Structure formats: structure tokens, C-alpha cells
């Protein structure tokens, strides 16, 4: 899944694709590089991000969704708002990626007969990284996701995915615990999506690995993004959400080739 942020403030590419022509060109490039889905978002959910009004989010994403869907691109709409999801599905989006895993947004996917992603987030982007706490992060995230995914399926969503929400109300240790225990999600039977691409935890891990311990900025997290995508793949994750599609496709192609040499 390739990321297309039509936003001024996303943490790694904010402002680059706010212009609709630039957004379309980038989406087409990602599809050519091998993305199966293009995930179009009009609201940054990075830590401390402010919410975006509905009309503004629609203005950002809808023209892009319309054109890409008409070109036959498989579009996913990344939104927490039912009205945005509904308009995007009407414009041809075939997946709703909901970082709030809310029943209202799941109902839109069900009504539209499109795929639905339930992602786990503790709190709200504005404050979620202030003091995230869990008793057992893996069990709590799994139980939450299974409950929301079962509800989405019962409501009629034809295909339901789950995503642990790396970096959404989680410390580095919480993220590492979740990534080390992806099998707890995979065994639920719901297909699993994971997004680690360019995230802050990779900067922290790079600092641990580097003499001098400097944290890697978002522009320097490709290696960590690829390493964690490969890790997720080997743990049975069905899809990764990434900014660097070409490099990820090549990395996963290599690991698939090694894992199944006769194929």
C-alpha cells in the first residue's frame, strides 16, 4: 500500500502533494512501482497534529480519488470521518482505512460494499504520545481490533483488515512489543496491515545502532522502513503501508524469493 498524503503537514512528506497534479503524478508513480493500493489521506494524524475540518479534508482528497479511481487505480481512503469515507467511496474508493476504527466509519464501508481497515490508536493525535500506558499492549490491541473487526464484518463489510497502529499512542517499547508479537494478530484470521514507514521509532532504533547515538530524521529512515517491512512479511503480515514503494517492492521480492525459491 503506497501512501499519498494530500496534506500540508504530514510528518515526512507534508506539503509535497497538496497540489492535485503533484498528488496524481505521485500516485501514478507509486502504482507503476508496484503498489497494489494507493492510500489517499487529507488529514495528518502525526503526534500533536490538529484536526482538519470536514470540508477542507474533502477538498483535498475527493478530486484525487475521483481521477485515480477512474483510471482504474485501487484507492483506499485514509480518514476518521464517515462523511469523507462516504464521499470517497461514492467517487470510487474501494477500501476505507480508518485509524480510529469507529463503528460509524465501518458502517460506510459496509454500505458501500468495500474493504475496511480497523487500526488501533490510544487517544487522539493531538495528545496520544504524552503518556501512553497499557497493562499488556499486545493483548489489549488484539482484543480491541478483533472486537471492532468482528463488528465491521457483522455490519456487512465484505473484507476486514486489522492494523496495530504503530506510533499511535505507543512508546518505543509498546511498538517493539507489537512488532515482536505480530503472530498474535495474524492468528486471528483477519488479514493484517502494518505501517512503520519512516516513523519515529525507526529514528530511535537507528540512534541505538549508531556510534554517537544520533536519532535518524524522517529523511534517513529508509533502511529501517525496509527492515521492518521485511520483518512484518516474514511474520505473516499481508500488507505494509509505505512511502517508498519501489524500494519496498524490491526488498519484499528478494525476501519472497529466498523464502520460496521454487516459486
Contacting residues toward ligand HH2, per CB under 6 A: 3, 5, 7, 10-12, 41, 44-46, 78, 97, 99, 117, 119, 163, 165-166, 193, 195, 241
Give the C-alpha separation, 77 to 87, whole Å: 10
Question: CA quadruple 17, 19, 21, 22: dihedral positive or negative?
Answer: negative
Q: Give the Cα-Cα-Cα angle 162, 183, 246 (nearest 5 degrees).
A: 65
198 catalytic residue (yes or no): no
CB of 44 to ligand HH2, least distance (A): 4
Closer of 87 and 243 to ligand HH2 (Cβ): 243
Q: Hey, what's the cell of 251?
A: 526488498
Q: Considering 60, 94, 199, 221, which one is annotated as catalytic?
A: 199
Closer of 127 and 210 to ligand HH2 (Cβ): 127
CB of 201 to ligand HH2, least distance (A): 11
Closer of 78 and 244 to ligand HH2 (Cβ): 78
- Is 162 in a helix, a strand, or coil? strand
Closer of 45 and 248 to ligand HH2 (Cβ): 45
Give the C-alpha separation, 117 to 194, whole Å: 11
Q: Hey, what's the cell of 16?
A: 509535497
- Is 76 in a helix, a strand, or coil? strand
170 catalytic residue (yes or no): no
Q: How far apart are the first and last CA of the chain?
A: 23
Contact 140/159 with Cβ under 8 angstroms?
no
Q: Hey, what's the cell of 93?
A: 474508493
CB of 62 to ligand HH2, least distance (A): 17
CB of 133 to ligand HH2, least distance (A): 20
Catalytic center residues: 199, 241
Amino acid at each position: 500500500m503506497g501512501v499519498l498524503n494530500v496534506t500540508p503537514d504530514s510528518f515526512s512528506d507534508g506539503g509535497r502533494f497538496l497540489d492535485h497534479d503533484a498528488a496524481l503524478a505521485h500516485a501514478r508513480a507509486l502504482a507503476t512501482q508496484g503498489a497494489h493500493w494507493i492510500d489517499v489521506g487529507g488529514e495528518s494524524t502525526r503526534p500533536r497534529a490538529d484536526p482538519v475540518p470536514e470540508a477542507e479534508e474533502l477538498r483535498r482528497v475527493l478530486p484525487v480519488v475521483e481521477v485515480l479511481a477512474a483510471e482504474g487505480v485501487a484507492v483506499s481512503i485514509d480518514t476518521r470521518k464517515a462523511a469523507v469515507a462516504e464521499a470517497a467511496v461514492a467517487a470510487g474508493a474501494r477500501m476505507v482505512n480508518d485509524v480510529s476504527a469507529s463503528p460509524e466509519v465501518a458502517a460506510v464501508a459496509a454500505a458501500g460494499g468495500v474493504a475496511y481497515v480497523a487500526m488501533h490508536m490510544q487517544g487522539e493525535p493531538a495528545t496520544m504520545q504524552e503518556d501512553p500506558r497499557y497493562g499488556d499492549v499486545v493483548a489489549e490491541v488484539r482484543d480491541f481490533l478483533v472486537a471492532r473487526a468482528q463488528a465491521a464484518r457483522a455490519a456487512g463489510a465484505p473484507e476486514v483488515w486489522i492494523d496495530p497502529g504503530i506510533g499511535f499512542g505507543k512508546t518505543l517499547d509498546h511498538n517493539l512489543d507489537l512488532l515482536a508479537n505480530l503472530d498474535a494478530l495474524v492468528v486471528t484470521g483477519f488479514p493484517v496491515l502494518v505501517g512503520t514507514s519512516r516513523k519515529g521509532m525507526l529514528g530511535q532504533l537507528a540512534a541505538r545502532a549508531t556510534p554517537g547515538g544520533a536519532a535518524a530524521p524522517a529523511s534517513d529512515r529508509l533502511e529501517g522502513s525496509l527492515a521492518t517491512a521485511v520483518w512484518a512479511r516474514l511474520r505473516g503480515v499481508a500488507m505494509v503501508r509505505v512511502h517508498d514503494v519501489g524500494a519496498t517492492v524490491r526488498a519484499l521480492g528478494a525476501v519472497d524469493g529466498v523464502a520460496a525459491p521454487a516459486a
